[in-house]
Amino acid sequence: MLIRIRSKDGNFRFEMAPTADISELLAKILETTVDGDPASITISNQPRGNETKASQLKRRNLESLGLKHGDLIFVTYKSQAQEPAPQETASSSSVPDSAAPAIPAGTDGKRPWETVQEDPVDVYWRTQDGKIPRERNAQFCRHGAKGMCDYCMPLEPYDAAHHTENQIKHLSYHAYLRKIAPKSSGSASSLLPPLNPLSYRVKVPCPVQAHPPWPGGICTACQPSAITLQSQPFRMVDHLEFASASIIDRFLKAWRMTGLQRFGFLIGHYEPYEKAPMGIKAVVEAIYEPPQEGELDGLSLGVPWEDEPRIRELSKHAATPLTVVGYVFTDLSPKEDDPSKNVYKRHPGSFYLSCLEAIFAATLQGANPTPSKSSPDGKFASRLVTAVLTGTVDGAVEVAAYQVSEQAAAMVDADMLEASVDPGIVRVKEDDRSTDSARYVPDVFFRYKNEYGLEVSKTAKPCFPVEYLLVNVSNGTPQNPTPMFHSAEFSIENRPGLEDQTIEKVLRSLQQLGAPDIPPSTHSNGGDSHKRVELAKWLSDWHLVAFLGTTGLIPEADIHLMMRTASLPNLLEDVKLLDPLLATEGWQTLMTFARESAPAPAAGAPSGSADHDIDPDIMAQIRAQEAAAGGPPGGSSAAGGIRICPHCTFENEHGGSDCEVCGLPLS
């Protein structure tokens, strides 16, 4: 309804809902005043007399006050005393609702977006024009080979026709930036961050401070606007790539052996993705599995994970710095009639991500924002990808990748969403002012096509489909894989009883590779190239290096060097790259333990004997045969004065004539 206002500043009109709170009307009145004092505002239905202080009408709506469409309200107020205090200036009622809060500069005088360090892939795309090249059109181009016209000139990276033709559903992040903030001549407006991070929280304190802070009061100046759910036009990551299929196979091994679901964080890096204009792909080099309790139909784990700071710091020291680019979990159930195939449960007739999984994804994305020079606070959205290993229509296993929208992350941050019993439906919570964690939920709507093909709007309270929160991400593996790590044989962490990580296993492998005998420098012995290649291949295992960092045997600096060495792209082609690592104190300490843990040679065996590698039962038969034939060359006594019993093959060390075990004569 229309409410008219008359004050000493003039006449004003406001469109208000009959159920609107009086504080909303008060906030609009304050916008029309010149430094008005909220506590002194009075309203009346007459030009003189019958004035009532607005502060006495709190928590009453316009309808309950008897106001109708077209009513005229007379307003009086007193101006505040002008004070230079910063707090008073900030709370002045002359500040409009839409004014953005001032962003404080750092100690060096620079603002957040000016000091943020972006990912290398963002730095790369900011130096490119992103134009989509086109070849000369033989039918319409009438110019020379070096000419250009509307039919062959490059397209902008956000060109809608190109995206439709190539079935690209979302703009890439940098194409979206180029669309909302095209490169210009360098005017002042073009230098300001074009992005505006979403927030559905109540502004505390209120910009106009005309009422007690939330939950004591709320007005149009501090309450979030109504939300209309819509498809996000861009995505932070366009493609998820596993550097090698063996990464997925190793992750699936635990499920294949136990039938229990598994969860892991994706360790990788970001690269340009040329199949989408100005695209970005997340390349997965390893999967770290945190402590968890798997079940047949789900799993339990703690977030944040305890080892996260160490893993993030260690991954930064790879030859190409790594980080957490997402997470993956299994949702696999064998068919009852054919256990070799899996149930097809995630499809258009069911759900893609359940409501609980979408809320979990929004929580993790909100906790892992992307550094950005295009956002006022230096961070925007998240590149964390959710990957699901699930059954296909033919019973095989496939990877499905998603992100949730920024609307989803902002709604979860404002505590507005909760899971429902239907996995494809998410619930909107109700307002709650009774607790310390008070919650205000604005109106939420979503649009859909009805049975007549018309697009209509519908309220999302109390629930709406999860699909309105999802952003699809393509995925795959390269045709010619070149993974950063060359081995995936070492045991994976946190698989107790299934794969145990032990230092004994590491030392045993080092002995088998002959690592203690490899000199620190290739100049010391030129004949150990083969051994060095085998050692380099074994060492180039992310899980191995991560485990060695927990043993305490190797200093942290040497572990960082080991991670860098293990991830060098040409490690197997150039064995000299191992030299800096083999010369470190930590590596020499590890070699010392490897030598001391080597098994002692069998008693009585000559130097260089390999008897300890022979099965004990077979060795006993050999010795019995030797004893029956008169003993080994040189008599029935073995080296060192040991005499072997021809009856029980026991090795007798005393000088008697009878066996210590069976008592029979030794000859």
The tens digit of pLDDT for each residue in 542-566 reads 999 999 999 999 999 999 999 999 9
Instruction: Dump pLDDT digits (tens) for 241-294.
Output: 999 999 999 999 999 999 999 999 999 999 999 999 999 999 999 999 999 999
Cα dihedral 577, 581, 582, 587, rounded to 10, equals -160
As a whole number of angstroms, the distance between CA 322 and CA 152 comes to 40
As a whole number of angstroms, the distance between CA 404 and CA 466 comes to 10
Domains in the chain with CATH codes: 2-78 (3.10.20.90), 239-416+471-476 (3.40.140.10), 503-597 (no CATH)
Q: Please, which pLDDT band fits residue 31 given cuts at 50, 70 and 90?
A: confident
**pLDDT given at position 304:** 86
Any idea which of 98-112, 324-338, 483-497, 612-626 has the lowest mean pLDDT? 612-626
User: Parallel, antiparallel, or unpaired: how do β-strands 425-428 and 444-449 relate?
Assistant: unpaired
**pLDDT given at position 70:** 80
**pLDDT given at position 623:** 54
Question: pTM here?
Answer: 0.74
* Whether residue 590 has pLDDT greater than 80: yes
Q: How high does pLDDT run on average in the chain?
A: 84
**pLDDT given at position 525:** 58
Nearest to 266 by CA among 330, 331, 327: 327
Please provide residue 546's backbone torsions phi and psi, each rounded to the nearest 5 degrees: -65, -35
Cα dihedral 392, 396, 399, 405, rounded to 10, equals 20
Q: Please, which pLDDT band fits residue 593 given cuts at 50, 70 and 90?
A: very high
* Whether residue 84 has pLDDT greater than 50: no
As a whole number of angstroms, the distance between CA 114 and CA 107 comes to 13
**pLDDT given at position 596:** 86
Are 410 and 200 in contact by the 8 Å Cβ rule? The answer is yes
Are 170 and 160 in contact by the 8 Å Cβ rule? The answer is no
As a whole number of angstroms, the distance between CA 608 and CA 594 comes to 18
As a whole number of angstroms, the distance between CA 316 and CA 308 comes to 12
Instruction: Dump pLDDT digits (tens) for 492-519.
Output: 999 998 999 999 999 999 999 999 988 8
As a whole number of angstroms, the distance between CA 586 and CA 606 comes to 34
With b for 16 or more beta-carbon neighbours within 10 A and e for fewer, the 39-74 pattern comes to eebbbeeeeeeeeeebbebeeebbeeeebeeeeebb
Any idea which of 104-113, 351-360, 628-637 has the lowest mean pLDDT? 628-637
Residue 506: Cβ within 10 Å count: 22
As a whole number of angstroms, the distance between CA 495 and CA 501 comes to 9
As a whole number of angstroms, the distance between CA 627 and CA 636 comes to 6
Higher model confidence: residue 280 or residue 575?
Answer: 280
Residue 414: Cβ within 10 Å count: 20
Nearest to 170 by CA among 433, 472, 590, 417: 472
**Secondary structure (DSSP) of 119-156:** -HHHHHHHTS---B-----TTT--S-TT---TTTSPBP
Look up residue 209 and give its two tokens.
Answer: 């401070």
Cα-Cα end-to-end distance for the chain: 119
**pLDDT given at position 73:** 86
Q: Is 567 helix (H, G, I), strand (E, B) or coil?
A: coil
579: Cβ contacts below 8 Å, ≥ 6 apart: 520, 521, 522
Residue 530: Cβ within 10 Å count: 10
In order of 272, 370, 372, the CA distances from 326 in angstroms are 17, 13, 18
Range list of β-strands (E), 350-396? 370-371, 379-380, 385-391
As a whole number of angstroms, the distance between CA 122 and CA 144 comes to 36
644 alpha-carbon distance from chain centroid:
66
CA quadruple 299, 302, 303, 305: dihedral positive or negative? negative
Bridge partners (DSSP) of residue 299 are 294
**pLDDT given at position 71:** 84
**Secondary structure (DSSP) of 73-122:** EEEE--BPPP---HHHHHT-TTS-TTPPPPPPP-TTS--HHHH----HHH
543 alpha-carbon distance from chain centroid:
19
Residue 458: Cβ within 10 Å count: 11
* Whether residue 338 has pLDDT greater than 60: yes
Higher model confidence: residue 403 or residue 663?
Answer: 403
Bridge partners (DSSP) of residue 172 are 235
Look up residue 627 and give its two tokens.
Answer: 């004893």
Look up residue 340 and give its two tokens.
Answer: 């070799």
Sheet strand arrangement including 2-7: 10-15, 2-7, 72-76, 42-44, 52-53
